[in-house]
Amino acid sequence: MHISEYQRWLEEWDRQRGWHRVSPSHTLIHALEEMGEVARLVLHLEGYKGGESPHAVRAELATELSDLLVFLFKLAYQCGIDVEATLKAGQAKADERWGDLAAASAELERYLARQAGNLAHLQGDSPASSSDP
C-alpha cells in the first residue's frame, strides 16, 4: 500500500462514521495521548522501567505506534496535507542537510561522546560541567 492510498482510505473510513468532523485540535490531543503510550513503552525497552518481557513490550509498541500514526495521518488530512508528498520533501531536506556522510558521522560522534559524559556524570565518575543543565 502506498502512503497516499492509506491517507485516502482513512479519510473515507472516518467519513463513513462521521469522525471526519472531529476538530484537528482534538485529533492532535489523541495523537499526544498515543505518543505518551509510545514513550512509556520505549522506556521499558531501554530498561528504565521493568516488568514485561522485551517481546511483549515490542508487540505492544507496534500497536501503539500504529495508533499514533493513524492520528497523525488523520491530522494531516484534516489540515489538507498530503503525507506522501511531505515525506518526499522531508527526504530531500535530510539529503541536503546530511548528504555529507563525514559530517553526519562527526555529528553522531559528538552526540555519543556527550551521552558517554552524561552517563559518567550519572554514575558519579565525573563532576558536572558548567554547561550541564
Q: Dihedral of the CA atoms 115, 120, 124, 126 (nearest 10)?
A: -100
**pLDDT < 70 stretches in the chain:** 127-133
Q: Does residue 95 lie in a domain region?
A: no
pTM of the model: 0.84
CB 24 within 8 A of CB 104: no
* Total of domains in the chain: 2
CB 74 within 8 A of CB 14: yes
pLDDT at 129: 60
CB 64 within 8 A of CB 37: yes
Question: Which domain does 111 fall in, by range?
Answer: 100-133
pLDDT at 1: 81
What is the distance of C-alpha 82 from the center of its chain? 18
Same domain, 133 and 69: no
